[in-house]
Amino acid sequence: MASASDAPPDLITFADIRWHAARAIRFGLVSGIGLALDLALFLLLVRAGVDPFPANVVSSGTALTFVYCVSVRRIFRYRGRFIVPLFAAYLLYHVCGTLAVSEVVSLVVHAGLAPVLAKVGILPVTFSANYLFMSWLTRKRERWVRAI
């Protein structure tokens, strides 16, 4: 029987699946805390009379900053070094994503859906996209170090 080290490089092993599953669970836990922060702040702002678009920009931005700071240090380690181009790519991705998601949330809320349902309804797409993007972003960190 071949070991994982004998497997061709393009073959996904059980160890690979376990590693990715554990990583996704850790990312999910951190994201869950970020989600609680996001939802609480969003609902607080909407109830205070702020339009859903800016409320979502503020709440999402706060939550995403939290998730980035905690995830990179604890999940997507890059030897503790702050790499500016890595953060800039993350920031650009999330600014564009947050503006797009905020527009969708705002439109759906203005169409009559409860704000909390609009936020929760978009979660499967945003969680998946964020995990995949962070995985890509942190996979080969040396490319970001060379950019400095």
- Specify whether the CB–CB gap between 41 and 62 falls below 8 A: yes
Tell whether the model's pLDDT for residue 79 goes beyond 70: no
Domain ranges (residues) in the chain: 22-139
Q: Cα–Cα distances in Å, from 30 out to 73, 99, 115, 147? A: 11, 22, 23, 28
Tell whether the model's pLDDT for residue 54 goes beyond 80: yes
Q: Which two tokens stand for residue 125?
A: 């797409």
Tell whether the model's pLDDT for residue 75 goes beyond 70: no
Q: Which two tokens stand for residue 20?
A: 């990715």
Task: State how far the Cα of 77 lies from the Cα of 80, in Å rounded to an integer.
Answer: 7
Q: What is the mean pLDDT of residues 23-41?
A: 88
Q: Burial level of 52, CB count in 10 A (0-12/13-18/19+)?
A: buried
Q: Which two tokens stand for residue 132?
A: 């995949």
pLDDT band, very low/low/confident/very high, at 26 (cuts 50, 70, 90): confident
Tell whether the model's pLDDT for residue 123 goes beyond 60: yes
